[in-house]
Structure 1
Amino acid sequence: MGVALALSACGNDDEASDDSGGGGGGSAAEGKVGVILPDTESSVRWETADRPALEAAFKKAGVDAVIQNAEGDAGKMTQIADTMIGDGVTVLAIVNLDSESGAAIQEKAKTAGVATIDYDRLTLGGSAEYYVSFDNTVVGELQGQGLADCLGDKAANIVYLNGSPTDNNATLFAEGAHSVLDEMTNFKVVGEQAVPDWDNEQAATIFQQLYTAADGKVDGVLAANDGLGGAAIGILEGNGLAGKVPVTGQDATVEGLQNVLAGTQCMTVYKSATQEANALAETAIALVNGDEAETTGTTVDSSDDSEVPSILLEPQSITKENVGDVIADGGQKMEDVCSGEYAAMCTEAGIS
C-alpha cells in the first residue's frame, strides 16, 4: 500500500520529543514536523500507542519532529498549533477535536505556508493536503459483522453506543456497522446514541438510560470503541448480563483484549499504530521534501463533496481466537494483556 517507511535513519536520539523540537542537525529532510494528538480520554491509544510509534518513525527517518497532546481542549490545540507554526514547523499534522476548530487551524497554517495533514480523523471543511488513517467505514463493517457473528441467527435487540458526534470517524463507524446490520431482518435497533467526546463516564450513563428505556431487553451492543464497550460491560455486569450480551469494540486496548479473552466483549478492531505512524511519517517527509505522497485513493469531504488525497490502511477484526495476532504484531505487550487472572485465559487462547 506504499506506506513502508523507506528513508534511512541518520538523526540523533532527540529528534522526536514530547514537548519541543529535537536537534535536527542530522535530519535526512530539511524541515520540521509538528503533530498534535487529541486527548487522553477518548482512547488510551494516543499516548500508549501512537506517540511512541510516531516518535520511532520520525527518529528512524531522521526527521525533526515535535509531538504534543491537546488534552481534549480545542483552545489548547489551537494554542499548540500557533506555537508550532511560530516555531517554524513546515508540516503540521492534527487529530482534530472537531472539524470547525481543526479547519481554522489548517487555514492559519495555510496562510503561514505550512502544509497540513489530517491524521486518523478527517477535518470536514478543512484544507489538509493529505488524510492518513484506516478505512473507517470498514472498521464499522467489521464491528457490525462481528456483532452479527456473535449473535447468530436468532432475533435480537441491538443498542448502538456511537462515538463523539464531532468526530467524523464516529459517523463512518456507525454507517459501516449499519450497512451490515440493517440488512439482517432478525435484528432490531432498540436504542442508539452518540457519546460526547468519547467520554467513558458519559457512555455508562447513556447506556444505562438506553438499557432502561428498552426494559432491559438488550441482546447486543454495537459499541464504537473499547472504552465505550467497557462502559456498557460495566452496566451489563451490574445486571448479571456481562458475557451473555455480546459487545463490540475498537482499538485493541489492553482492557479491550482482556474483555475479549474473558468473553465479556465479543470482538475488537485492531489498527496498527506503527503502520499508521509510518504512513504519516512517510507522507510528512514527502511534503517536507516538496514531493507528492503515494496514496491509496481519495476520501470525500461530505461538507463540500471535495476529494482529499488519502492513505487508508486496512483494519483487522480481533476475536478470542486471534488476540495473539495483536501481541505478535507489537500492538500490545503480552505481560500487560496476560497479567493476573488473564494469564490462564491467554494460555487457553494459545498465547505464550
Structure 2
Amino acid sequence: MNVVTRRTISGTAALSLALLGLTACGQDDAGKSSGGVGATTVGLLLPEKTSSTRYEAFDKPLIEASVASLCTKCTIDYANADGNEETQKQQFDALLAKGIKVILLDPVNAKNTAPWVQAAAAKGAKVVAYDRLAAGNVAAYVSFDNARTGELQGNALLDALGPKAAEAEVVMINGAESDPNAASFKAGAHKSLDGKVKRISYEQSGEWKPEVAAQKMTEAIRQVGKDNVDAVYVANDGMAAAVIETLKGAGLKNVPVGGQDASLDAVRRVLSGEQSYTIYKPYKPETDAAATIAVHLLKGLDVTSIASAITESGGSHVPSMLLTPIVVTKPKVAVTVIAGGLYTAAEVCAAPYADACAAAGIK
C-alpha cells in the first residue's frame, strides 16, 4: 500500500520556493558535475495517446516549457508508449543508452517498473514517478492526492443523487488494476459512498478503455436490471463518455454519472447535464512540479525541501509533492477550468453548447 505519512508544506508553496531557488542559482548550471547529453536532458515518458488526450495536449508541452524556463540549456527527450508496456520499456532503455540521468516516468503498468528503476540506478540515473507511482526506489513522486480525488468523486456523486442517495444502487466502473492511482481513486470513492448509499450493486474495472467501460456498463444493466441503476461512478471522463452512451442506448435517463480529468468533451457534458461532474487537476502546477524536481536533480540538488510529503512504497520513503484536485459541476465551470485557463469560454461554448453556456452564465 502507498501511504502519505507527512506533509510539512503545501505543494504550491513548496513549488514557489523551489522556482525562486532555481532562479537564484542561475539557469545554465545544470549538470556541472557531468558532461554529455545526460547533463542537460530530461527524459520524459508518458503512457497514453488514444485513451486519454491530456498527455499530448497538456503534459508534454507544459513540461517542456517549464524545464526550458528553469534551465535554458536543458532539453526534453520525449516518447509516448500509447498504452503499450513493452514499448515503454524499450523507450526507457533507449534513454538509459543515451546516458540520460533524469527520467520523468508516467508508467503504463506501474507494478512492473522496479527492475527498470534498478537498472537506471546502476547507470547513475534517477527516476521521478510522474502522475502514477512507479514501483521501485524512485527519487521522487509528483501527482495529485489520489485518495482525496476518489473521495471528491464519491461526494460529488452523493450530491448529484441528493435525497435519493440513501436508497441508491450504484454501479462502479474503476480504472485499470495495473495503475496504483486507480486503486487510490477506488478506495477514496468507497470511503465516501459506503454506508451512504443502499449498496454498490456492480463493480468492475474498465481498464481505462472506453470500449471496456461500455461492455461493463452493458453487463451491469443486464445483471442488476434497468430499475436498479441509480448512479454510476466512473473513474475518468473517457470511460464516462462511453458509459453515458451505453445508458442512452438502454433507454436510461437522468442517471448521475461522474468522471475525472476535465476533458473538454466532459466539461461540455457537465454543462449540458449529461454528466454530473468531473475532476479538475490543473495540469500546470503538476507539470511545473515535475520540471522543478527534474532540474533540481540535474543540478545535484536535494529535492526533499520541495517534495515534502512522504509516500510509503514497497518499504521505501519516497519524497513526494501531492497537489489538491477540484470538483467541477455546472455552476463551477466558469470559476474552475475557464478561470484557470484550461479552456477559453469560446472553446467550451462552441455549438451546440452555446445555450448551455448561457444558462450557466458563461460568456
> Normalising to structure 2: TM-score of the pair?
0.87
**In the alignment, which of 334, 337, 344 is matched to residue 333 of structure 1?**
344
String of CA shifts for 1:29-76, please: whole Å, max 9, x gaps.
Answer: 232210100011332111111112112111211232222111111111
Distance 2:308 2:218 in 1: 41
Deviations 1:265-321 (A, max 9, x none): 1111001111100000111111111111212311122xx343211100011011001
Correspondence 1:110-129 to 2 at 5 A: 110-124=121-135, 126-129=136-139
**Counterpart secondary structure, 2:64:** helix
Question: Which of 1 and 2 has higher RCO (CA within 8 Å, sep 6+)?
Answer: 2
Contiguous gaps of at least 5 residues in structure 2: 1-10, 32-38
Q: What is the identity percentage for the equivalent residue pairs of Structure 1 and Structure 2? A: 37
- Any idea what SS the aligned residue of 2:262 has? coil
Offset, 1:179: 0.5
The answer as to 2:313 corresponding to 1:283 is no
Task: Please identify which structure carries the higher helix content.
Answer: 2
Corresponding position of 1:34: 43
Could you say which residue in structure 2 is the equivalent of 1:19?
A: none
Task: Please tell me the residue identity of whatever aligns with 1:349.
Answer: A
Structure 2 residue 257 is the aligned partner of structure 1 residue 247: yes
Once the 2 structures are TM-superposed, how far is the Cα of residue 104 of structure 1 from its aligned partner? 2.4
Which one of the candidate residues 308, 315, 340 is aligned to 1:296?
A: 308
Amino acid at match of 1:173: F
Structure 1 residues 1-352: aligned runs within 5 Å: 1=11, 2-4=14-16, 5-6=19-20, 7-8=22-23, 27-30=28-31, 31=39, 32-61=41-70, 62=72, 63-124=74-135, 126-154=136-164, 155-184=167-196, 186-196=197-207, 198-216=208-226, 217-242=228-253, 244-293=254-303, 294-301=306-313, 304-324=314-334, 325-352=336-363
Q: Work out whether residues 74 and 101 of structure 1, in 8 Å CA contact, stay in contact via their aligned partners in 2.
A: no
Counterpart amino acid of residue 178 in structure 1: H
Deviation at 1:88, TM superposition (A): 2.2
Mapped partners of 1:300, 1:221: distance in 2: 31
Question: Structure 1: how far apart are the matches of 2:180 and 2:117?
Answer: 16
RMSD: 1.8
* Count of aligned pairs: 332
Q: Deviations 1:99-121 (Å, cap 9, x if unpaired)?
A: 34322221211111001100000
**CA deviation after TM superposition for structure 1 residue 8, in Å:** 4.4
Matched residue type, 2:156: G
For 1:148, the aligned partner's letter is L
Give the Cα separation in 1 of the matches to 2:198 and 2:170. 7
SS across alignment from 2:163: coil
Q: TM-score scaled to structure 1, two decimals?
A: 0.90
Code of the residue aligned with 1:271 in structure 2: it is: K
Letter in 2 for 1:191: Y
1:261 Cα deviation after fit: 0.5
